[in-house]
Structure 1
Amino acid sequence: MAQLLRDRLSLDTVMEKPVLPALGLLAILIIGNTIIKVRFQTIYNAFFHPLAPVPGPWLARISRSYMTPAQAGLHRAQTLRSLHDKYGPVVRIGTNEVSISDWSAYRSIYSQKTSNKTIHFYEDTKLANDGPGNIFTFHSKEAHSARRKLQNPVFSQQAVLENESFIAEKADVLVRRIVSSENGTADVFLLDGLFSLEVILKCAFNRHYGDSPAGDSLTYLRAMDSSAVAIQVRAALPIIQRGVGRHLPGFVGRSYRGWDLWEKMTSALVQGFQANEAAQDTRQRFMATPATMNVDGFLGRRLNQPELVDEMMSIAFAGSGTTSTTLTYLLYSMARDQVRQERLRAELFAAPGHTLGELQDLPFLNAVIKETFRLYPTIISTLPRVLEQSVSVDKYLLPVGAFVGMQNYVHHRDASLFPHPDEFWPERWLVDENAAGSNDKLKDMNAALTPFSLGPRNCIGQNLARAELYIATSRIFTKVRLTLNETMTEWDMEMEDRFNIAPKGRRCLLDVEVLS
Structure 2
Amino acid sequence: MSIDFVSWTLKSWIVVATALVLTITISQIIYNAFFHPLSKVPGPFLCRISGIPSWYYATRGDRHIWLWQLFQIYGPKIRVTPNTILFRDPAAYRDIYTQKANVQKAAFYEAWQKDKDDINTFNTRNKQAHSRRRKMLNQSFTEQSLRASQPFLIKHVDRWNELLVAETGDDQWSKPMNFADVSDTLVFDIMGDLCFGTSFDIKEREENPFKTMPHVVVQYMQFFYPLTRSPMLNLIVWLKPRGLDALFKSITPPNIKSYISFVEDCVTKRLELYQAQKEKTVSEQRQDMFWFLCDAKDDAGDPAYSEGELRAEANMLIVGGTDTTSVTLAAVMFYLTRDALRLQKLVDEIQSTFSTPEHIAHGPQLTSCIYLRACIDEAMRLSPSGPSELPREILKGGAIINGEFYPQGTVVGSSGWATGHNDEFYGDSEVFRPERWIPDESTGVTEEEVNVLRANFHPFAQGPGSCPGKNIAILELSIAIARTLHRLEVRKPLEGDNSLGQGIPTNGWGMRNKNIFQLQDAYISVRNGPMVQFKKRPV
Structure-1-length-normalised TM-score: 0.87
What is the DSSP-based 3-state SS (H/G/I as helix, E as strand, rest coil) of the residue aligned with 1:132?
coil
1:488 aligns with 2:498: yes
- Taking a change above 3 Å as real, the CA distance of residues 474 and 435 of structure 1, as seen in their structure-2 partners, is closer
Amino acid of the structure 2 residue aligned with 1:425: R
Report the equivalent of 2:126: 140
Q: Distance in 2 between matches of 1:191 and 1:502?
A: 14
Deviates more, 1:302-311 or 1:454-463: 302-311
Report the equivalent of 1:4: none
Contact 2:106–2:125 under 8 Å retained in 1? yes
Q: Which runs of 5+ in 2 are unaligned?
A: 169-173, 503-516
Report the equivalent of 2:33: 46
Q: Distance in 1 between matches of 2:338 and 2:414?
A: 30
Query: For each residue in 1:82-141, what CA deviation from the matched residue of structure 2 results, as whole angstroms up to 9, or x when unmatched?
Result: 001000111011111111111231111112332434442101123x23442211111122
Report the equivalent of 2:380: 373
- Taking a change above 3 Å as real, the CA distance of residues 26 and 187 of structure 1, as seen in their structure-2 partners, is closer
Amino acid of the structure 1 residue aligned with 2:194: C
What is the DSSP-based 3-state SS (H/G/I as helix, E as strand, rest coil) of the residue aligned with 2:461?
coil
Amino acid of the structure 2 residue aligned with 1:329: A
Contact 2:64–2:387 under 8 Å retained in 1? yes
Report the equivalent of 2:366: 359
Contact 1:115–1:385 under 8 Å retained in 2? no
Contact 1:391–1:398 under 8 Å retained in 2? yes
CA apart distance, 1:33: 4.3
Aligned with 1:268 (options 246, 265, 268): 265
Q: Distance in 2 between matches of 1:220 and 1:401?
A: 38
CA apart distance, 1:307: 3.0
Report the equivalent of 1:461: 469
1:167 aligns with 2:153: yes
- Taking a change above 3 Å as real, the CA distance of residues 511 and 144 of structure 1, as seen in their structure-2 partners, is same
Amino acid of the structure 2 residue aligned with 1:233: P
CA apart distance, 1:431: 1.1
What is the DSSP-based 3-state SS (H/G/I as helix, E as strand, rest coil) of the residue aligned with 1:56?
coil
CA apart distance, 1:409: 0.7
1:218 aligns with 2:211: yes
Contact 1:188–1:328 under 8 Å retained in 2? yes
Q: Distance in 1 between matches of 2:162 and 2:443?
A: 43
Q: Distance in 2 between matches of 1:123 and 1:509?
A: 37
Report the equivalent of 1:423: 431
Q: Distance in 2 between matches of 1:333 and 1:45?
A: 43
CA apart distance, 1:161: 1.9
What is the DSSP-based 3-state SS (H/G/I as helix, E as strand, rest coil) of the residue aligned with 2:66?
helix
1:86 aligns with 2:73: yes
CA apart distance, 1:18: 7.5
CA apart distance, 1:244: 5.7
What is the DSSP-based 3-state SS (H/G/I as helix, E as strand, rest coil) of the residue aligned with 1:45?
helix
Deviates more, 1:357-366 or 1:86-95: 357-366
CA apart distance, 1:320: 0.8
CA apart distance, 1:216: 4.6
CA apart distance, 1:153: 2.1
Q: Distance in 2 between matches of 1:436 and 1:331?
A: 26
Q: Distance in 1 between matches of 2:245 and 2:518?
A: 28
Deviates more, 1:23-32 or 1:37-46: 23-32
What is the DSSP-based 3-state SS (H/G/I as helix, E as strand, rest coil) of the residue aligned with 1:513?
strand
- Taking a change above 3 Å as real, the CA distance of residues 181 and 321 of structure 1, as seen in their structure-2 partners, is farther
**% identity of equivalent residues:** 24
Contact 2:337–2:492 under 8 Å retained in 1? yes
Query: For each residue in 1:434-484, what CA deviation from the matched residue of structure 2 results, as whole angstroms up to 9, or x when unmatched?
Result: 677722111011111110000121001111110111000001101111111
* Structure possessing the higher radius of gyration over alpha carbons: 1
What is the DSSP-based 3-state SS (H/G/I as helix, E as strand, rest coil) of the residue aligned with 2:212?
helix
Deviates more, 1:215-224 or 1:96-105: 215-224
Report the equivalent of 2:194: 203
Query: For each residue in 1:275-294, what CA deviation from the matched residue of structure 2 results, as whole angstroms up to 9, or x when unmatched?
Result: 12345263683222354455
Q: Distance in 1 between matches of 2:408 and 2:377?
A: 34
CA apart distance, 1:45: 1.5
Report the equivalent of 2:324: 322
Q: Distance in 1 between matches of 2:338 and 2:250?
A: 42
Query: For each residue in 1:13-43, what CA deviation from the matched residue of structure 2 results, as whole angstroms up to 9, or x when unmatched?
Result: xxxx973248876665555444433333222
Report the equivalent of 1:11: none
Amino acid of the structure 2 residue aligned with 1:500: I
1:280 aligns with 2:277: yes
Q: Distance in 2 between matches of 1:207 and 1:446?
A: 37
Q: Distance in 2 between matches of 1:299 and 1:87?
A: 52
Query: For each residue in 1:273-330, what CA deviation from the matched residue of structure 2 results, as whole angstroms up to 9, or x when unmatched?
Result: 1212345263683222354455556998764444322210110111012211211111
Report the equivalent of 2:95: 108
Contact 2:156–2:186 under 8 Å retained in 1? yes
Amino acid of the structure 2 residue aligned with 1:355: A
Contact 2:394–2:408 under 8 Å retained in 1? yes
Contact 1:326–1:372 under 8 Å retained in 2? yes
Aligned length: 492
- Taking a change above 3 Å as real, the CA distance of residues 50 and 191 of structure 1, as seen in their structure-2 partners, is same
- Taking a change above 3 Å as real, the CA distance of residues 488 and 125 of structure 1, as seen in their structure-2 partners, is farther
CA apart distance, 1:242: 7.2
What is the DSSP-based 3-state SS (H/G/I as helix, E as strand, rest coil) of the residue aligned with 1:451?
coil
- Taking a change above 3 Å as real, the CA distance of residues 122 and 513 of structure 1, as seen in their structure-2 partners, is same
- Taking a change above 3 Å as real, the CA distance of residues 301 and 483 of structure 1, as seen in their structure-2 partners, is closer
Report the equivalent of 1:178: 164
**Structure 2 counterparts to residues 54-65 of structure 1, below 5 A:** 54-65=41-52
What is the DSSP-based 3-state SS (H/G/I as helix, E as strand, rest coil) of the residue aligned with 1:99?
strand
What is the DSSP-based 3-state SS (H/G/I as helix, E as strand, rest coil) of the residue aligned with 1:98?
strand
Report the equivalent of 2:254: 257
Q: Distance in 2 between matches of 1:433 and 1:173?
A: 40
Report the equivalent of 2:6: 19
Amino acid of the structure 2 residue aligned with 1:146: R
Amino acid of the structure 2 residue aligned with 1:147: R
**Structure 2 counterparts to residues 395-434 of structure 1, below 5 A:** 396-433=404-441
Contact 1:119–1:139 under 8 Å retained in 2? yes
Report the equivalent of 1:348: 350
What is the DSSP-based 3-state SS (H/G/I as helix, E as strand, rest coil) of the residue aligned with 2:387?
coil
What is the DSSP-based 3-state SS (H/G/I as helix, E as strand, rest coil) of the residue aligned with 2:379?
helix
Contact 2:148–2:288 under 8 Å retained in 1? no
CA apart distance, 1:68: 0.5
Contact 1:278–1:293 under 8 Å retained in 2? no
Structure-2-length-normalised TM-score: 0.83
Contact 2:460–2:467 under 8 Å retained in 1? yes
Q: Which runs of 5+ in 1 are unaligned?
A: 1-16
Query: For each residue in 1:464-516, what CA deviation from the matched residue of structure 2 results, as whole angstroms up to 9, or x when unmatched?
Result: 1101110000011011111112312255652101212122xx34321112111
- Taking a change above 3 Å as real, the CA distance of residues 24 and 296 of structure 1, as seen in their structure-2 partners, is farther
- Taking a change above 3 Å as real, the CA distance of residues 28 and 246 of structure 1, as seen in their structure-2 partners, is closer
Report the equivalent of 2:183: 192
Report the equivalent of 2:513: none
Contact 1:197–1:321 under 8 Å retained in 2? no
Deviates more, 1:22-31 or 1:452-461: 22-31
- Taking a change above 3 Å as real, the CA distance of residues 437 and 301 of structure 1, as seen in their structure-2 partners, is closer
Q: Distance in 2 between matches of 1:447 and 1:56?
A: 26
Contact 1:267–1:309 under 8 Å retained in 2? yes
